[in-house]
């Protein structure tokens, strides 16, 4: 089914938006729906209006929703400036090539405390954040998310110095 059909379907757009924890302009907007093995959000796009449906990566739907159905022509991929694959903040997205993406990931993966160095893997990290969001009091959300992120980098940059 074509992206244009899915993007024009109000039920699909509502379902997408209903799974995004929208926060401040600089924060990551966490996906609250299904998480793929690669740590990306995914959801079933389509409704009784479109007749059929298919499971799509959430950020690819969201990117087109923000920039138009033709935004990723020519084989471009959506890159996350924040390196959180589940993030749905349009300000954290950048269209690029697969080569750009692989090069960035290879260099950042070595940084201590970085998202890509998470010992739980990308999917485990995203699911841990979702669990923290579900369990947190709304007023403690930022701290709960920060703690869930830090837990994946036990030897990382955010650990307190021992001496
Ligand atoms: Zn982000």
Q: Rounded distance, CA 101 to CA 2, Å? A: 25
Residue 80 has pLDDT above 90, yes or no: yes
For residue 149, report the distance from its CA to the centre of ligand 1, in Å. Answer: 12
HSE-up of residue 131 (Cα within 13 Å, Cβ side): 10
pLDDT surpassing 50 at residue 47: yes
Calculate the average pLDDT of the chain. 91
| Residue 13 in this model has a pLDDT that exceeds 50 | yes
For residue 109, the number of C-alpha atoms closer than 13 Å in the C-beta half-sphere is 9
CA of residue 25 to ligand 1 center, whole Å:
10
Quote the ligand 1 centre to 87 CA distance (angstroms): 5
CA distances, 94 to each of 19, 46, 76, 89, 101 (Å):
21, 25, 10, 11, 10
Rounded distance from Cα 32 to ligand 1 centre (Å):
14
The rounded distance, in Å, linking the Cα atoms of 94 and 76 is 10
Structure tokens at 3: 């992206």
Q: Residue 28 C-alpha to ligand 1 middle, in angstroms?
A: 4
Give me the pLDDT at residue 159, please: 46
- With a pLDDT cut of 70, the percent of the chain lying above it is 94
User: How far is the centre of ligand 1, averaged over its atoms, from the C-alpha of 79 (Å)?
Assistant: 10
Q: Residue 86: what pLDDT?
A: 97
What's the pLDDT score for residue 157? 56
Residue that has been written with the tokens 């997205």 in this structure? 93
Residues 6+ positions from 155 with CB-CB distance below 8 Å: 112
Mean pLDDT to the nearest integer, 139-146: 95
Cα of 50 from ligand 1 centre, angstroms: 30
Supply the pLDDT for residue 106. Answer: 82
CA 70 – ligand 1 centroid, Å: 23
Give the Å distance between the CA of 18 and the centre of ligand 1. 17
Band (103; pLDDT cuts 50, 70, 90)? confident
- Given this model, what pLDDT does residue 100 score? 85
Structure-derived torsion over alpha carbons of residues 138, 80, 94, 96, reported in degrees to the nearest 10: -160
pLDDT at 154: 79
């Amino acid at each position: 089914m074509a992206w244009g059909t899915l993007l024009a379907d109000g039920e699909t757009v509502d379902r997408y938006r209903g799974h995004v924890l929208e926060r401040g302009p600089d924060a990551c907007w966490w996906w609250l729906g299904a998480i793929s093995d690669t740590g990306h959000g995914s959801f079933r796009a389509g409704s009784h209006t479109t007749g059929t449906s298919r499971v799509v990566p959430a950020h690819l739907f969201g990117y087109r929703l923000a920039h138009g159905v033709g935004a990723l022509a020519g084989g471009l991929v959506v890159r996350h400036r924040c390196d959180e694959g589940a993030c749905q903040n349009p300000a954290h997205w950048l269209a690029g090539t697969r080569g750009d993406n692989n090069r960035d990931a290879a260099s950042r993966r070595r940084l201590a405390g970085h998202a890509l160095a998470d010992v739980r893997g990308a999917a485990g990290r995203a699911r841990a954040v979702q669990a923290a969001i579900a369990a947190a009091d709304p007023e403690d959300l930022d701290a709960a998310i920060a703690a869930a992120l830090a837990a994946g980098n036990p030897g990382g940059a955010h650990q307190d110095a021992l001496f």
